Amino acid sequence: MTAFPKQFLWGAASAAYQVEGAHDADGKGPSIWDVYAHLPGTTHEGTNGDLAADHYHRFKEDVALMAEQGLTSYRFSIAWTRLLPQGRGAVNPAGVAFYHALIDELLRHGIKPMITLYHWDLPQALQDLGGWESRETVDAFADYAELCYREFGAKAELWATFNETVVFIGMGYITGAHPPGVRDPARALQACHHVFLAHARAVQRFRELKCEGRVRADAVIGFVNVLQPHAPASDRPEDIAARELADGCFTHWFYDPVLRGEYPAALLHWAQEALGAPLFAPGDAELLKANICDFIGVNYYKRELVAANPDVDNTRINTSGEKGSGREFGFRGLFKFVRNPSGEYTDWDWEIYPKGLTEGILQLKARYGNLPVYITENGLGAKDPIIDGEVVDDARIDYLARHLKAAAEAIAAGADVRGYYPWSFTDLLSWLNGYQKQYGFVYIDRDHHLARQRKKSFFWYQEVIRSHGSL
Ligand code: BGP
């Protein structure tokens, strides 16, 4: 018997910069990632998304593989600079045509598109004007969103505004490992506030265009967040307090504004006192309050153990895939993430903890009510073994099977989980880890003209979908 509701969507996910390639084709303008990934020392071994999986030119082949696997939905993002090379102003018809062609191809195969409007590739032209620190970017995003609704709103039912604000703001403005490479928490909070405003403005326009009949009547719009449950490293009161703070900073700060229309009050007060940010303008609070979104997308990879932190003020990411090579994260005086001595870890030192998916979804249900949830990413990054020419990714199958079971447990406990989108459909670029960190059901042979090859997990997921998850 299956644990999954009849309408449950079986998907897979990707993002424009990581999969499309064709970085300057047919009038596309540069995004911050097109520029940043070419700066020395920014990514693993200088990799970039110039070519990626060349999905831009090979999308028909990719959609055919999705159909063969049995996907009923596909999550992808639109590259803002394909539609608007300068971020605003003149529209690039070739970019618009590409997404029409992709969406039409998906629909022809009975695959529902889930469109993410922003998966980190801000137009460089807008960055040059201040990026997310400027309210002009909020206006530009609302206009870009409206363009997308007018073009694709009659075709697509599932929309998400932003992907993982905690990551692109946290890494863009606090650790400095993503563009624009800033390390300033006050600037981070202001940029983040503008993202929430941009989200609210985009939700507002979505609903207006729905009323005008430009967007399908059954269409919904959500926000995609990292789901990262936090557990105290011990039962010492200082670790428990550190866990509360980390959960407030990483979870409530990013979910409350879009699901409650306001910031967590105590944290907001603390941030404004300590850092003087975020600053509100008249109307901001009302805008957030009036535009709570329809669903939440959750990207689940790992949980974190949290401890009190008198010493560490550092972020070190393992980008090599050599297990145990060192991953460190902490804000001195606040909290730090520590390794679970009995935990199971990936080669990039991410804890594998399937139960966290159940726990995280149920924590959201307890705080925000029983809202619709889509698991918009979940997957194992690995250097997949090739045996006799076949990609035998048993570890991925094991990871996904255990997480799917955890999703079923959340459903059994009453959560309204409506779809599962493993990351990723094909292998693609991992932002800081290059092409060696593979996630896909489909292997991309970078030595042989990006030839597509079905992995063992491709057939496993095909069977999951065929049986509607009753394996
Ligand atoms: C999420 C992003 C994805 C993807 C994934 C895997 O944070 O939304 O774009 O990259 O993580 O992360 P990584 O590539 O760093 O392993």
pLDDT digits (tens, 9 = 90+) for 348-398: 999 999 999 999 999 999 999 999 999 999 999 999 999 999 999 999 999
The answer to whether residue 359 is catalytic is no
Distance separating alpha carbons of residues 200 and 28, to the nearest angstrom: 27
CA of 430 to the centre of ligand 1 (A): 6
Residue 382 Cα, ligand 1 centroid: separation in angstroms? Answer: 13
Closest C-alpha to ligand 1, atom 10: 430
Q: Is 377 a catalytic residue?
A: yes
Contact predicate 7/220, CB 8 Å? no
Determine the pLDDT at residue 419: 98
Instruction: Output the CA torsion 331→334→340→346 (10° steps).
Output: -30
Q: Where are the beta strands (DSSP E) in 349-455?
A: 351-352, 373-377, 386-387, 390-391, 417-420, 442-445, 451-454
- Give per-residue pLDDT as tens, 49-101: 999 999 999 999 999 999 999 999 999 999 999 999 999 999 999 999 999 99
Nearest CA to ligand 1 atom 4: 430
The pLDDT score that the predictor gives to residue 471 is 66
Catalytic member of 164, 304, 359, 409: 164
Beta carbons of 82 and 92 less than 8 angstroms apart: yes
Phi-psi region of 445 (alpha: psi -120 to 50; beta: other; left: phi over 0): beta
Locate all alpha helices (DSSP H) within 212-264, ordered by sequence: 237-247, 253-259
**pLDDT over 80 at 326, yes or no:** no
Residue 291 reports pLDDT greater than 70: yes
Residue 440 has pLDDT above 90, yes or no: yes
Q: Whose CA is nearest to atom 12 of ligand 1?
A: 430
281 C-alpha to ligand 1 centroid (Å): 33
pTM above 0.80, yes or no: yes
Of 193, 142, 145, whose CA–CA distance to 169 is shortest? 193
Instruction: Output the ligand 1 site: residues, CB below 6 A.
Output: 15, 18, 163-164, 167, 299, 377, 381, 423, 430-431, 433, 437
Task: Please identify which residue in the block is written with the tokens 């990006």.
Answer: 450
- Report which protein residue has its CA nearest ligand 1's atom 6: 430
Whether residue 317 has pLDDT greater than 90: no
ipTM: 0.99
The answer, yes or no, to whether residue 314 has pLDDT greater than 90, is no
Report the C-alpha gap between 431 and 300 in whole angstroms. Answer: 17
Q: CB 255: neighbour CB atoms within 10 A?
A: 22
What is the per-residue pLDDT across 90-131, written as a single tens digit (0 to 9) for each? 999 999 999 999 999 999 999 999 999 999 999 999 999 999
Question: Average pLDDT, stretch 212-222?
Answer: 98
Q: Is the pLDDT of residue 176 over 90?
A: yes
C-alpha–C-alpha distance, residues 418 and 252, integer Å = 22
Mean pLDDT of 408-436: 97
Scan for tokens 């079905």, then name that residue.
454
Q: Is the dihedral of CA 253, 254, 257, 259 positive or negative?
A: negative
In this structure, how many other beta carbons lie within 10 angstroms of the beta carbon of residue 84? Answer: 24
- Residues 6+ positions from 330 with CB-CB distance below 8 Å: 309, 311, 312, 313, 314, 315, 336, 337
Q: Supply the pLDDT for residue 464.
A: 98
The two beta strands, 328-331 and 335-338, are antiparallel
Atom 13 in ligand 1: which residue has the minimum CA distance? 430
Amino acid 311: pLDDT: 85
Residue 181, pLDDT score:
97
The answer to whether 396 and 282 have CB atoms below 8 angstroms apart is: no
* Residue from 431, 433, 437 whose mutation best tests the ligand 1 pocket (most atoms within 8 A of CB): 431
Whole-number Å distance between alpha carbons of 327 and 170: 16
- Point out the ligand 1 atom lying closest to the alpha carbon of residue 437: 16
- Please give the number of the atom of ligand 1 that sits closest to the Cα of 224: 8
